Amino acid sequence: MYEVRDPIHQTIVFTDAEKRVIDHPFVQRLRYIRQLGLKSTVYPTAVHDRFAHALGAMHLAGRVFDALNAESRVFHALRSGTRTYLRRSLRFAALLHDVGHGPFSHASEALMPRLSGLGIPRGWYTHYNAKRQATHEDYSVLLIKTLGSPRENIFSPAEAQDIASLVHKHIHPSAQWVKRFRTPKEAAAYHIFFARLISGEIDVDRLDYLLRDAYFTGVPYGVYDLEWLLHTIGTRMTSRGPVLVIKEGGLRAFEDFLLARYHMFLQVYFHRTTSAFEHYVERAISEHEIPLKIPTDPHAYAELRDGSVIEALYAAAKEKGHPWSRLLVNRVPAKLVYRFDRGNIEDERRYRTVLHTLRRAKIRYFERTARRTLTEHPVLVPGASRIFVEEKFLDRVRYTPIERASPLLQKYNEQIDRVYVYVFREDYPRALEVLHKVYKMR
């Protein structure tokens, strides 16, 4: 066994098999991909990387599995070898869930090739569209598949597919996964359950990155009670398979977790200044100010790092005809002139007026959109609940769908659909002038 120190989880322990994966260049590359991209332009200490987050997510995957296994008899119905395999697969999926992220994450996705170019077996996908553009999740699958190749010999092909299926929602598990269970229906139900622990309402990705991002940005918004949340979660078997259960005493901890995520998106992830800088990078890449290409070969892809893009941006900023690189390198953020939330009729009317006024005055502007909900839980779909609250009623225990047990979900589960309108710094005084004239007249 090996261990490393971590400011969030104190000590992270891993096995020899996990060390082989951690030491692989595909994973080591994550040391050079920042978790929060350009957020350090506003939060100077937000320079942590995706490697540390991957280790933290793997650590929490083990803790969540152990908490559920100890608390509930649901897992005990499975063979011992199956439980061991599920724990191992869950930890590997957590470790590798972000392995396909490119430099500056979503900015580089615009250059990704068609899915067909990656060479991922068509049969792995539940829905395969060869012509669609690949995403970083597809690249995660490509790298995981490569770890299961004879050349790398880290996973068997079947295990690689199983791990990939927990990371990517459109990948189905291998035939070997199905054989570990009594029926195909049971295999599918457990697969859905474990995939949601990687990407779901209470998933190890969010459990780690909220605390980690809050710590490194220095803000209190992302802090929640991890220990109590883990102490109060369990499982219950239903006709649809295993579902997550929160003991009644843990409901507030779950709500705090949701609110932590909500406020981190508003205050950190959608910060107005960093959003403008991210627009600069996206435009510099899409307009080919820098020579960035996204290869389909997994080993060539693993050579892509944030640092190479930053160096290219600095080089481009010295040349004429590269305005986006220059704005970024010189740290000249655009100015926010209007922000509105879709769904508000008065806000939308003002938004259209703002855009019309800027266009008529020939003032350059651009928009950024932020969309998020407090939860993706299907609160309005009868019978679709994925989480239940264990409530004691007289001398009995009953299980209530969380959307009925949580007033927070009932009241605040609305989508954030926010639009930011920016103008360039040199145009800001004139933009204010023409907008003030319009609103004085009104």
pLDDT tens readout for residues 338-390? 998 887 788 888 899 999 999 999 999 999 998 877 666 554 444 456 889 98
pLDDT at 319 exceeding the cut of 60? yes
| Strand 365-373 with 387-393, pairing | unpaired
Return the exposure string of 277-311: e unless at least 16 CB atoms fall within 10 Å of the residue's CB, then b.
bbbbbbbbbeeebbebebebebeebbebbbeebbe
SS3 of 351, please?
helix
CA 300, 306, 307, 313 torsion-angle sign: positive
Say which residues have a Cβ less than 8 Å from residue 322's Cβ, sequence separation at least 6.
284, 289, 316
Nearest CA-CA partner of 265 in 315, 221, 216, 311: 221
Distance CA 100, CA 92 (A): 14
pLDDT tens readout for residues 138-185? 999 999 999 999 999 999 999 999 999 999 999 999 999 999 999 999
pLDDT tens readout for residues 215-228? 999 999 889 999 99
Architecture of domain 2-218: Orthogonal Bundle (1.10)
- What is the overall mean pLDDT for the chain? 92
What's the confidence (pLDDT) of residue 382?
46
Q: How far is CA 212 from the centre of its chain?
A: 13
CA 416, 422, 428, 432 torsion-angle sign: negative
pTM over cut 0.85:
yes
Distance CA 322, CA 240 (A): 55
Segment 40-61 shows an average pLDDT of 97
What's the confidence (pLDDT) of residue 377?
56
Determine the longest span between alpha carbons in the chain, in angstroms: 77
Helix ranges, 218-318 (H): 226-231, 251-264, 272-286, 298-301, 306-317
138 neighbors 154 (Cβ within 8 angstroms):
no
What's the confidence (pLDDT) of residue 380?
45
Q: Among residues of the chain, what percentage have pLDDT more than 90?
A: 75
Report the Cα–Cα distance between both ends of the chain, in Å, rounded.
Answer: 70
